Structure 1
Amino acid sequence: MTRFGHVMEKIDERIPGVDLPLMSVSQTRGVIRRSELTNAPQRAESLDNYKVCRANDIVFNKMSIRSGAMGVAAEDGLVTYHYEVMRPREGTDPHFIVYLMKSSWFTKELIKRERGIGAGDQANVRTTEVPFSVLKTIDAYIPAYAEQRAIANYLDRETARIDGLVDEQQHLIAMLHLRRLAVVDAALSQGLGSEAVLRKTGSQWLPELPGGWEVVRAKRVLSFGPANGVSPAVGDTDDLKSLSLGAIRDGRVIMGPEVTKFVDRSSVASTESLRLRPGDILLVRGNGNVDLVARAGLVGSEFAVEEYIYPDLLIRVRVNSSMLPEFFVWACNASPTRAQVRAQARTAVGTFKVAGGDVRSLSLPLPPLDEQRAIVAYLDKQTSKIDTLIAETERFIELARERRSALITAAVTGQIDVREAA
């Protein structure tokens, strides 16, 4: 065991007027030029207070060390005060040190020392700094230089294999999402019968539909709303329950601890008028991501016995007898409606929003009710298959990342003989 501060030294070099590239730290790519993250990297009026990092220095984000925001610099550059710069002393390999710092063993040692990130307090992870003054006190396993290099080379090779598998699976997920969207869009614009004859509608958003279908404004199929919710003051944990935006998920409105907020009942004028009922439809009124604005979810039967209201960034509607609520949700989340929302959404301070009038004006397809029922049943079945594949692929990625983390920890703590694994 060797004190971490004996093998690494903190560097705080500042050279006014030096012309070096601005560097940043990526969790997946290590230390890279900031221009690789954005085409227009922001530069301060003066770079005199920026720190200099040299090739083979280790750079890490003091506020994101537990998420792996660190790496070895491949070239000289400048970094902001958010970053710490360390330089390996003689006989220390920087790549081994980075792997050591990414291990679960090292993280546990940090937790023992740093007040605010201990005791599994995940809420404080993002706001707690872990400076070099904490790192240097850790007694770590530091083998001879040749073994450090062997371990780093082994982990470079093995983690690259795992990262390659993860990249392939992430690409598969992207393809499955595209396939899911294509299935939905085809059913809502062409129907289910291959013999259906499409006719011109004159609509910008739905230019062709099967015979017997109409293009209608959403207001024609609504019996209630659009009506915004309210966001009263926070209440006690046994007070009135409200939902967060995350409750709208894959065309459903879910309930559970992760999407439930407790609000002050006494500050709500009429809970009965705001209470969600089965068959209600909620749409996202505002979000920083325009692709999530006006996303719709159906309120299920479980809300009949659970009292929930909804916040002011959600909109509630109900449909009349001309359209099934399930069909309305599918139509709202399909590509033609998404294009309309992107054209209508307005932004202020980074949040895109739609108003009730925007929702009422949406152009939607309106097939006969029997075709609506058939399309809803078809889409439920087909998307369920795709969603199962997506969930299985996401689980594979999760397991691969767990394997990657365990492999790093095992290698840097001597549980794997890399000479035999070579």
Structure 2
Amino acid sequence: MSQMHGVIPRSELSGDDGRAETLVNYKVCERGDIVLNRMSAYNGALGVARQRGLVSPDYLVMQPREGVNADFLVAWLKTPRGVYEMTSRLRGIGSADAAQVRTPRINESDLRLIPVEAPSPDEQRAIANYLDRERARIDTLIEEQQRLIELLRERRNAVLSAAFGPGPSTDTTRVGRLLSVRPSYGVLVPRYVDETEGVPFVRVGDILNLATERPLLAIAPEQSHEYSRTKISGGEVLLGVVGKMGQAAVAPRWLAGANVARAVAVLRCRDASVAPLLCAWLGSNEFLRQAELATSGDSIQPTLGMKDLARFDINLPTQPHAAADLADQMARIDTLITETQRFIELADERRSALITAAVTGQIDVREVA
């Protein structure tokens, strides 16, 4: 098992810092023990210890019986059947006293009652060895694809930096000068209604996922009218201004009539052709730098003020086809990122399918060894 949260190697506790004495509630795990997080084992938080160490109280430490291969058993518990068996035995989901509600977790006594169909010890060992090899190959592929995504994101940032960098092909101005009206926040406390009776409502989490087939929540029409200043016509730039910065999109025309949440700013450009450029710049490192400076004093979570946003400096490209050229470059990079992320998802699915097929006998590991 790779190093798991909550597992501390004994070698790290050999000094005189007093840590060993403060970990009286921790358990000792030996090499070959099954270590399982009681609250999230069904999400894959379990494995086999590869060294002696200490385990936090949220973990179970179990020794497989003679004739049971620990790696095989862990693999079986990660199959859909194993996950179902664990989730069906979770305890602490609720209580008559709200103050006593606990995070769902599985107890050792319940875990031991899970029926497992195990082949012979030799076959278990063969399955475990096969899965080790196959998962290592898949993990290598995933790591390579993750590095590719990092490189693509670096390339994306470089394209934005080049497009919005100071120079003869850009004019320095302020965001407020690009807008026809002062940017404003949306609805503070929404009153939700059925989507068939209300006005579509855009929240921060919707900004990067706007699609006709993806339903939005709805608010009462009279409340939307009360906040008419942020009602969308289509073509505005929508920007998340609370929490994670840099989430922005140009409102599509089909969104006309919708309204936005308090954490979303509506930016109406004087020149419609500037909106795509402004939207792209809002994802750049330069915008993030200015936003970080403007929100550095926030104690709870970053909240970008509209006056601060209007004063941000932007180097706006002046070339006639700047917006189209930039959109083309960004689209190609974003497509590669999306395709790579999908490859990783498929690899994860392949890994899960291999585990299930191997431990349930759908694959004869002796033939594919």
8 Å contact from structure 1 (residues 57, 85) kept in 2: yes
Could you tell me the TM-score, scaled by structure 1's length?
A: 0.74
Query: Counting strand residues as a fraction of each chain, which structure ranks higher?
Result: 1
1:35 and 1:390 mapped to 2: Cα distance?
A: 41
Q: Does 2:56 match 1:77?
A: no
What CA distance in whole angstroms lies between the structure 2 residues aligned with 1:34 and 1:255? 52
| Structure 1 residue 180: Cα displacement | 2.1
Which deviations, in whole Å up to 9, do the C-alpha atoms of 1:202-254 show, x marking residues without a partner?
xxxxxx3116x4211212222212211123255233344322212222xxx71
Matched residues in 2 for 1:272 and 1:418: separation? 65
| CA RMSD, Structure 1 to Structure 2 (Å) | 3.2
The answer as to whether partners of 2:9 and 2:51 remain within 8 angstroms in 1 is no
1:256, CA displacement in angstroms?
A: 6.1
Would you say the 8 A contact 1:63–1:127 is kept in 2? yes
Number of matched residues?
A: 352
- Give the 3 Å change call, closer, same or farther, for CA 69–330 of structure 1 in structure 2: same
Q: Does 1:301 align with 2:253?
A: yes
Change (3 A) 1:393 1:228: same
Q: Which residue of 1 aligns with 2:138?
A: 162
Matching of residues 393-408 of structure 1 within 5 Å: 393-408=340-355
Aligned residue number for residue 4 of structure 2 = 25
Q: Which aligned pairs between 1:50-65 and structure 2 lie closer than 5 A? A: 50-65=26-41
Contact 1:232 1:268 in 2 (8 A): no
Whether 1:272 aligns to 2:207 is: no
Per-residue CA shift, 1:122-170, capped at 9, x if unaligned?
xxxx953233333222211122222222111111011100110111111
Structure 1 residues 363 and 236, CA gap change in structure 2 (3 angstroms): same
- Are 1:294 and 1:354, in contact at CA under 8 Å, matched by a contact in 2? no
**For residue 216 of structure 1, what is the aligned residue in structure 2?**
173
Task: State the alpha-carbon separation in 2 of the partners of residues 247 and 420 from structure 1.
Answer: 49
Q: TM-score under structure 2 normalisation?
A: 0.84
**Residue ranges of structure 2 left out of the alignment (5+ in a row):** 13-18, 94-101
CA gap of 1:282–1:178, structure 2 versus 1, over 3 A, is same
- Matched residue SS, 2:268: strand
Secondary structure at 1:56 match in 2: coil
CA distance in 2, matches of 1:379, 1:363: 19
Match of 1:335 among 265, 268, 285: 285
Which residue type is aligned with residue 382 of structure 1? Q
**1:16-45 deviations in whole A, cap 9, x for unaligned?**
xxxxxxx9735xxx9665999xxxxxx899
The AA in structure 2 aligned to 1:361 is: R
Paired residue secondary structure (1:209): coil
Post-superposition CA distance 1:312-359 (Å, at most 9, x none): 112222122397111211222223222222222225455222211220
Matching residue within 366, 369, 376 for 2:316: 366
- Equivalent of 1:242, from 201, 204, 219? 201
Counterpart Cα distance in 1 of 2:20 and 2:232:
49
Q: Is the 8 A contact 1:344 1:354 kept in 2?
A: yes
CA contact (8 A) 2:42 2:87 kept: no
Give the match for residue 260 of structure 1: 216
Question: Could you tell me how far apart the structure 1 residues matched to 2:212 and 2:289 are?
Answer: 31
Aligned to 1:68: 44
Whole-angstrom CA distance in 2 between matches of 1:260 and 1:309: 11
Pair 295,33 (structure 1): closer, same or farther in 2 beyond 3 Å? farther
Q: CA deviation at 1:93?
A: 1.9
2:331 matched residue in structure 1: 384
User: Which residue of the partner structure matches residue 227 of structure 1?
Assistant: 184
Q: How does 1:277-292 map to 2 (within 5 A)?
A: 277-287=233-243, 292=244
For 1:328 and 1:349, locate their aligned partners in 2 and report how far apart those are by CA, in whole Å.
Answer: 28
Q: Distance in 1 between matches of 2:3 and 2:214?
A: 32
Displacement of 1:363 in angstroms is 0.6
Which residue does the alignment assign to 2:63? 87
Alignment partners' CA distance in 2, 1:255 and 1:241: 12
**2:235 maps to amino acid:** G
Partners of 2:199 and 2:219 within 8 A in 1: yes
What percent of counterpart residues are identical? Answer: 38
